[in-house]
Structure 1
Amino acid sequence: MDGRGDNSPKDAPTTESDDAVDARLGETVRLLRQRAGLSIQDVANKTGLSNGMISQLERARAMPSIRTLRLLSIALDVPISYFFETSDPADVQRYIVRKNNRRLLRLTASGVVKEALTPEGKGQLELYELTLNPGASSGTDFLQHIGEKAGYVLSGSLRLWLDNQAHVLEAGDSFRFPSIVPHMFDNPTQQTARVIWVTTLRQSDPPAG
């Protein structure tokens, strides 16, 4: 023993392994689909995704993009926050989210980490902090749906595509647009980017939690 002891933070949150993330996401998609009484074909028809892709997601053979999860959330009629890692129930507060108790969504294949900044429960909007590794993206196709989105770039660069036009945003820049506008985003640089991201829930979305 060198007498220094363990200097790691005692309140640091534990995170799932990549395999555990894939398995939990797949199980969540399967259970939500079954709860809605939908077949894989039904979900494929609603999302435009292939039967094979949905089956692979449910069996943890593929990792979804943000776009794919958004399509699934709309088809399954749940907020995207349903796919996040769960918090310790003992630490959940009604109105407050502590830094060390944020719910995470780690999309390793897309290079994106999404942290929920809004508490679990009823609300009209969701607030996230996105970390985009170099080359990270929301997916390869545009997405559009009912609602509104806004955000603020904390650091790095965000390339936001709106209706086929690219806008490169740097630290301090912000944005807002109707979600019906075809959109996607990526980080085209070699530096990590961090973005505060806001999205409104559709009126038919149930409360998260």
Structure 2
Amino acid sequence: MDGRGDTNSPKDVPGNEADDAVDQRLGETVRLLRQRAGFSIQDVANKTGLSTGMISQLERARAMPSIRTLRLLSIALDVPISYFFEASDPADVPRYIVRKNSRRLLRLTASGVVKEALTPEGKGQLELYELTLNPGASSGTDFLQHTGEKAGYILSGSLRLWLDNQAHVLEAGDSFRFPSTVPHMFDNPTQQAARVIWVTTLRQTDSPAG
């Protein structure tokens, strides 16, 4: 990983119906959030550093986003990244509790990452996830920086965490914390899936839901 480019790519081969439905839902969510904010595609491109073509392809489900791309979009559109997760069943959902079988999922088929939201829906001061990284999975090939703080705990497998161009290989039982202003990305370079508890504090300009 050299910190250049990103793993987003146009869909040049057909996927299965489930993956296509996930990409379609993500694209529609990005488009609706952009329109709600009153932004043009060019506006979002200027705020994220992504190309207008990439954003257009994402909205039309013709490209598959990386974690880095979704984080950039969440910052530009001023929403938690959990807004991109699959919606939960609104029936009988506790306000402050998340049951194991009610977790909202975000499947990033291109990146090989599955994120499970461990915090309830709505804005708050932090986001808590369980990440599953398939062999070769990554957050993208470019570093990300933003305000806030990140921390995590390796449940199983290995995580290679890149902080300011330095790689740290973390094993089960290891943990970390760093300011999100430090250039960072991560991947799973092994042939075994990894599971990680991941904590992200929101930007200082974000406020908890009322």
Return the TM-score normalized by structure 2: 0.90
Q: Distance in 2 between matches of 1:100 and 1:10?
A: 31
The answer to which of 182-191 and 5-14 deviates more is 5-14
- Residues 112-144 of structure 1, C-alpha deviation per residue, up to 9 Å, x if partnerless? 000000111342111000000000000010000
Gap runs ≥5 in structure 1: none
Paired position in structure 1 for 2:173 = 172
> 1:147–1:179: 8 Å Cα contact kept in structure 2?
yes
Determine the C-alpha separation between the residues in 1 that align with 2:180 and 2:194: 22
2:3 corresponding residue in structure 1:
3
Larger radius of gyration: 1
Alpha-carbon offset, residue 4 of structure 1: 54
Per-residue CA deviation, residues 49-105 of structure 1 (Å, 9 max, x unaligned), is 001000000000011000000000011111100000000001421111000000000
Deviation at 1:205, TM superposition (A): 2.7
Residue 3 of structure 1: how far off its partner (Å): 57
- Contact 1:12–1:100 under 8 Å retained in 2: no
Following superposition, which runs of at least 4 residues in structure 1 exceed 4 angstroms of deviation?
1-16, 206-209
Distance, in Å, in 2 between the alignment partners of 1:156 and 1:61 is 32
Q: Deviations over 1:162-196 (max 9, x none)?
A: 00000000000000000000000000000000000
Shift of 1:157: 0.1
Which has the higher mean CA deviation after the structures are superposed, 171-180 or 82-91?
Answer: 82-91
Residue of structure 2 equivalent to 1:74: 75
CA distance 1:130–1:29, shift in 2 (3 Å): same
Contact 2:128/2:198, CA 8 A, preserved across alignment: yes
When residues 17 and 67 of structure 1 are mapped into structure 2, their CA distance, relative to the original with a 3 A threshold, is same
Unaligned runs of 5+ in 2: none
Give 1:14 deviation, angstroms.
19
Change (3 A) 1:143 1:2: closer
Alpha-carbon separation, structure 2, partners of 1:201 and 1:3 = 23
Cα distance in 1, alignment partners of residues 4 and 52 from structure 2: 55
Shifted more, 196-205 versus 109-118: the winner is 196-205
TM-score by length of 1: 0.90
Q: Percent same amino acid at aligned positions?
A: 92
